[in-house]
Amino acid sequence: MSDTIFGKIASGEVSADIVYEDDDLVAFRDLHPQAPTHILVIPRKPIPTLNAVQPEDAELIGKLFLAAAKIAEQEGIAASGYRTLINCNAAAGQTVYHLHLHLLGGRPMQWPPG
């Protein structure tokens, strides 16, 4: 498992407010939410950035988005709308180098986002 905080959450070494987990993924509430609903969906497999995704990870990446849709439904934001995003590297705002998908909702989103 990764030595990042997210890797430690995925392995159970560090606690988090987990809202979903399966054999491949863990989803938990962000400690510094940017919307009323802000959940991070991470693979258990330690992948540092989107640039490091390999062809054999295609199914896993698909599972991130399927889980986000399921969680959005569970959180009551699927019908009104939500945003998913993945930051890649420092200039994009990535601060933890363990691939993670942000699920944001519960308020109108602005465009452009940043």
- Catalytic residue, chosen from 32, 38, 98, 100, is 100
Closest CA to 19 of 97, 71, 55: 71
Task: Output the six-digit token pair for 111.
Answer: 């465009």
CA dihedral (113, 4, 39, 50) positive or negative: positive
27: which strand partners?
20, 41
Strand order in the sheet with 37-43: 18-21, 25-29, 37-43, 101-105, 82-85
Is 38 considered catalytic here?
no
Give the residue numbers marked as catalytic. 100
